[in-house]
Structure 1
Amino acid sequence: METSLNKYISESGFCSRREADRYIEDARVTINGELAWKGSRVKPGDKVLVDGEPLPKRKAPVYLMLNKPKGVTCTTDLKDRSNIIDYIGYKQRIFPIGRLDKLSEGLIFLTNDGDIVNKILRSGNNHEKEYIVTTDEPFGLDFVKAMREGVRIQGGKTKPCFVKQEGPNRFRIILTQGLNRQIRRMCEALGHRVSSLKRIRIMNITLAGLAPGKWRLFTPAEIEAIQAMLKDSSKTDDGEGMGE
């Protein structure tokens, strides 16, 4: 049975489907010795190589969470000295689900399960991410109302969302979208700059008990709960991810 090349690579645990697309676009993937392209299909018996090396044999899935500190970059590029992979130092190959800006902090998941990545990232599945945000200057009710109703950024308008003011320049926001630097861009469009941003929840998982800079594996109960929430989620990529 044929399968798409990016799915074949992600299901090996080598990287996410999006990262697989980048490997393909960068001409780093071959099928049976021939350069692959986006949209290539893999048949049983095909030999797929990335950078001339075979894909790893699929290992047991790993799910862990990190309370990311500022200064750590959500990339698997080991040339970046601040990369999240070296920071955690996990013994198996893993990759982040979504991203947090280098200057942002808080909860992020990492895994070797390419299948779960797409289900969590796809905004159409409406999986919640909750943040606490501080701006450089105080804001009023007009700012809160505009954030709730949607802000025009990147040539489109953000989806309506929950926003609650918690101080003169502090608010709580819950997103189901994940556009690149979404919260920062929304604030900038309304004349404010983000001075601190912390993600405190993804779906049913919170930062409770996880100190800044520390990571831990999911408990069996957490894995079971996440799988139940993802049961009816689509894996189709709609171009949005779990950004901020």
Structure 2
Amino acid sequence: MTDNLASNSSTAGKRLNKYISESGFCSRRGADKLIETNRVTINGKLPELGTKVQPDDEVKVDGKLISASAKNKSDRIYIAYNKPIGITCTSEAHVRGNIIDAIGHKERIFPIGRLDKPSEGLIFLTSDGDIVNKILRAENAHDKEYIVTVDKPISERFVERMSRGVPILGTITKPCIVRVKSRFVFSIILTQGLNRQIRRMCEYLDYEVKALKRERIMNVKLGNLKSGQWRDLTPAEMDEINQAVSGSRKTATETVVKAKKTYSDLIK
């Protein structure tokens, strides 16, 4: 077993946060928080962020042994869930109405991304923490389609401005596809996931969202899945998802920095 955790960080092996996320315990971001709060040990010692795990190392979280993931990920869970309004997309057990309790899956899973509590529709959950980062990274430009109901008739100007992009949260939203469904209803296809993005975009244009439902993520559609129901993603769906994220290289931080620079250039 490795005795020097400091030197361990520069040798061959798997990064600790990746090791934990691949085990299905949590996402990489969640693993970083566990490491920072001294809840993780390697061979009985507290590691640093960036420490690498060697094949014979013993990794524990809160004293519980964490096992390495199967190389083919055959032990991983991937599901699609039709989240009802009122359910909160968190794995924190103390939060009333959290998504984990709502699903009641027998395995440890966590959501990929989120849907606001007042929103409904499709969301993925998994026990594969490594795939979370890849799907959420903005540069991968994964389509997400929503059906939105607003409080007043939809104008041509509204469609044009929404499609082109509006300034929210210190950036300009990326161009997107907006289609009018009826007088008060439109569909929108986004390739980014800013906090409460659609609601903020509508608010900027003086519209209020009355209902919001996510119908599709990438190649997976909500289909006939009823509110509150979930299903396993099919092998064909997972093949397409894995192909779509296979080229992921940039980090989320790099993407945010570029977006802020673009915003600064536009408002000069």
Paired residues of 1:13 and 1:56 also in contact (CA < 8 A): no
TM-score under structure 2 length normalisation? 0.82
SS at match of 1:23: helix
Please state if 1:43 is matched with 2:59: no
Between the aligned partners of 2:104 and 2:45, the Cα distance in structure 1 is 34
Paired residues of 1:63 and 1:109 also in contact (CA < 8 A): yes
RMSD: 2.1
Paired residues of 2:16 and 2:53 also in contact (CA < 8 A): yes
Between the aligned partners of 1:37 and 1:191, the Cα distance in structure 2 is 48
Of 163-172 and 84-93, the range deviating more from structure 2: 163-172
1:62 maps to 77
2:19 to 8, 13, 19: 8
Closer/same/farther in 2, CA of residues 113 and 235 from structure 1, 3 Å limit: farther
Deviations along 1:119-162, one digit per CA (max 9) or x if unpaired, are: 21111111110000112233312221111111111111111111
1:209 maps to 224
Paired residues of 1:14 and 1:56 also in contact (CA < 8 A): no
2:157 maps to 142
Between the aligned partners of 1:55 and 1:193, the Cα distance in structure 2 is 46
1:114 maps to 129
State the Cα distance separating 1:94 from its structure 2 match. 0.8
Deviations along 1:32-78, one digit per CA (max 9) or x if unpaired, are: 34434433333333333222322245361111111110011111111
Q: Which runs of 5+ in 2 are unaligned?
A: 1-11, 257-268
Between the aligned partners of 2:221 and 2:134, the Cα distance in structure 1 is 19
TM-score under structure 1 length normalisation? 0.89
Between the aligned partners of 2:193 and 2:121, the Cα distance in structure 1 is 15
Paired residues of 2:24 and 2:127 also in contact (CA < 8 A): yes
1:224 to 239, 249, 261: 239
Of 13-22 and 47-56, the range deviating more from structure 2: 47-56
Q: Which runs of 5+ in 1 are unaligned?
A: none
Please state if 1:32 is matched with 2:51: no
1:133 to 145, 148, 158: 148
For 2:204, the aligned partner's letter is A
Between the aligned partners of 1:136 and 1:56, the Cα distance in structure 2 is 51
Please state if 1:77 is matched with 2:92: yes
Closer/same/farther in 2, CA of residues 22 and 186 from structure 1, 3 Å limit: farther
Higher relative contact order (CA 8 A, sep 6+): 1
Select the structure of larger CA radius of gyration: 2
Paired residues of 1:27 and 1:37 also in contact (CA < 8 A): no
Please state if 1:52 is matched with 2:63: yes
Closer/same/farther in 2, CA of residues 25 and 69 from structure 1, 3 Å limit: same
Which structure features the higher share of helix residues?
2
2:190 maps to 175
Paired residues of 2:22 and 2:68 also in contact (CA < 8 A): no
State the Cα distance separating 1:226 from its structure 2 match. 2.5
% same residue: 57
